[in-house]
């Protein structure tokens, strides 16, 4: 869906900091995903390339760029009980890419200048926010109404004549 992403800080360096999303993890634009508001603290180790030590569960992690990919960082934060992860995404941040079927926390990236401002002021309270309209509910399930409708075709007189030459289109079947 259309819309941007922000880290909205309500204590400490109050303000809204533009962010980019990741193409994995919880998608903040999904109607079922909670946009977490929590204490935000620096991960330890700061690059989150190893399991976190002493990280307060339920917090949002600030994570430095480092030698491992963002999916590893996000998995380590999630394993430590993190509610989300905010990564230093460089001077010109783009969508954070990676493949993970197990990360289910939101992942946002900040430009280095914004990240450094927040890193120097932590801990603080922030919200990982989506600024658009949540994605509509769509699924590929077979609903009962659709199944009943199609089943009606299968049992109607026009499809029950078997191998008759006219395939049942002109044959009247007895009830």
pLDDT at residue number 132: 82
Find where tokens 């009830």 sit.
175
pLDDT at residue number 133: 75
Cα gap 55→123, rounded to integer Å = 12
Beta-carbon contacts of residue 61 (< 8 Å; ≥ 6 apart): 40, 41, 42, 43, 48, 52, 55, 77, 80, 82, 84, 85, 86
Cα gap 74→55, rounded to integer Å = 13
The DSSP code sequence of 64-81 is: ---SS-HHHHHHHHHHTT
Cα gap 56→54, rounded to integer Å = 6
pLDDT at residue number 127: 96
Beta-carbon contacts of residue 149 (< 8 Å; ≥ 6 apart): none
Cis preceding-peptide flag for 123 (omega within 30 of 0): yes
Torsion of CA 90, 93, 101, 119, to 10 degrees: 50
Beta-carbon contacts of residue 65 (< 8 Å; ≥ 6 apart): 47, 87, 88, 89, 90
Centre a 10 Å sphere on the Cβ of residue 44 and count the other Cβ atoms it contains: 14
Tens-digit pLDDT string for the chain (175 aa): 567 899 999 999 999 999 999 999 998 888 778 899 999 999 999 999 999 999 999 999 999 998 999 999 999 999 999 999 999 999 999 999 999 999 999 999 999 999 999 999 999 999 999 998 766 666 665 666 667 777 777 776 555 555 555 555 555 555 5
Half-sphere exposure of 16 (CA within 13 A, CB side): 7
Question: Length of the chain, please?
Answer: 175
């Amino acid at each position: 869906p259309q819309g941007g992403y922000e880290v909205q800080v309500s204590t400490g360096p109050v303000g809204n900091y533009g962010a980019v999303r990741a193409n994995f993890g919880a998608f903040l634009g999904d109607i079922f995903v909670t946009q977490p508001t929590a204490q935000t603290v620096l991960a330890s180790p700061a690059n989150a390339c190893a399991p976190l030590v002493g990280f307060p569960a339920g917090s949002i992690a600030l994570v430095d760029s480092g030698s491992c990919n963002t999916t590893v960082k996000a998995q380590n934060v999630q394993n430590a009980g993190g509610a989300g992860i905010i990564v230093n995404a460089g001077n010109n941040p783009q969508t954070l890419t990676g493949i993970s079927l197990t990360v289910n926390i939101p992942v946002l990236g900040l430009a280095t200048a914004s990240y450094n401002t927040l890193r120097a002021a932590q801990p603080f309270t922030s919200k990982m926010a989506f600024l658009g309209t949540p994605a509509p509910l769509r699924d590929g399930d077979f609903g009962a109404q659709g199944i009943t409708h199609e089943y009606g075709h299968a049992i109607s007189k026009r499809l029950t004549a078997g191998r008759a030459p006219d395939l049942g289109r002109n044959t009247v079947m007895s009830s």
